[in-house]
Amino acid sequence: MKPIKDIPFFCSWSGGKDSCLALYHAIQAGGKPRFLLTILDETGERSRSHALPVALLEKQAQALGIPIVTRSASWDDYEKVFIETLPEFKRQGVQFGVFGDIDLEDHLAWCRRVCGYTGIETYHPLWQRERSDLLNEFIGLGFKATIISVKQGILSTDFLGKTIDKDFIAEVKNQDIDICGEKGEYHTVVTDGPIFAEAVTIKMRKQTLIDGYWFLEVVSE
């Protein structure tokens, strides 16, 4: 990866642990965060991947002190909408896009391709790191994350609402899955950590099955 020190960047923001840890590392490396970018669903009310409400995403952005930019898209036009958003970032001096991918080659290629249209470099600080190291680092740094989605038939809904902690690592190691959820086994929402000015409080509501995923509805308090 090219050095990011003193260079403005945007972070592809899911609201979950991997994008948050990637943001942390980009900041620690001296990068200058300018924007969080989140793609919402067609309604414009929830994030495309994690189904987080806009109000909660805005609370995260406020606690991080980084403006959030949102756009609405279906899965079919997700790429088009993402690409169309980047020229404005470029005009405001952004030179890097920060992503939380770990080792999915097609994701890496996608990030490089969509950013490349605008001449923005990509920065993947978690790339090819050992899974347990990432989770232990995330916990050790003091980040707090709650599981808000599990893939049907892969993880039990009993995991919904659980905190990412040492007990979670021990429990999930007995499952036949990627313990970081890199293949979509589960998703999280981050509510606190060393780059948060204050904790984001959430309230848990009902569980809903959508397109093969169980989602725990969460709202900011």
Distance between CA 173 and CA 176 in Å, rounded? 8
Question: Is the residue at 66 inside a domain?
Answer: yes
The label of the residue with tokens 């309230």 reads 203
Query: Which residues form the domain of 84?
Result: 8-123
Q: Is it the case that residue 221 has pLDDT exceeding 90?
A: no
Both 198 and 109 in one domain: the answer is no
Using an 8 Å Cβ cutoff, are 11 and 33 in contact? Answer: yes
Same domain (yes/no): 208, 116 = no
- Give every CB contact of residue 136 below 8 A, 6+ residues apart in sequence: 169
Q: Do residue 111 and residue 146 come from a single domain?
A: no
pTM above 0.95, yes or no: yes
Does residue 100 share a domain with residue 200? Answer: no
Together in a domain, 169 and 208: yes
Please, which pLDDT band fits residue 147 given cuts at 50, 70 and 90?
A: very high
- Residue-level pLDDT at 3: 93
Q: 12 with 105, same domain?
A: yes
The mean pLDDT of 152-162, rounded to a whole number, is 94
Number of structural domains found in the chain: 2
Question: How far is the C-alpha of 73 from the C-alpha of 13, rounded, in Å?
Answer: 15
Q: Is residue 128 part of a domain?
A: no
Rounded to an integer, the average pLDDT of 64-91 is: 97
How would you class 173 by CB atoms within 10 Å of its CB: exposed for 0-12, middle for 13-18, buried for 19 or more? exposed
24 part of a folded domain = yes
The pLDDT value given to residue 49: 87
- Does residue 61 sit in the same domain as residue 93? yes
User: How many H-runs (helices) and E-runs (strands) does the chain carry?
Assistant: 6, 9
Token pair, residue 181, equals: 């959820």
Last residue within a domain, chosen from 123, 144, 176: 123
Same domain, 51 and 101: yes
Residue with tokens 């991947």: 49
Residue 169 has what pLDDT? 92
Provide the pLDDT for residue 175: 83
Q: What is the pLDDT of residue 1?
A: 79
Strand partners, 39: 71
What value does the mean pLDDT take over residues 60-78? Answer: 97
In a shared domain, residues 114 and 145: no
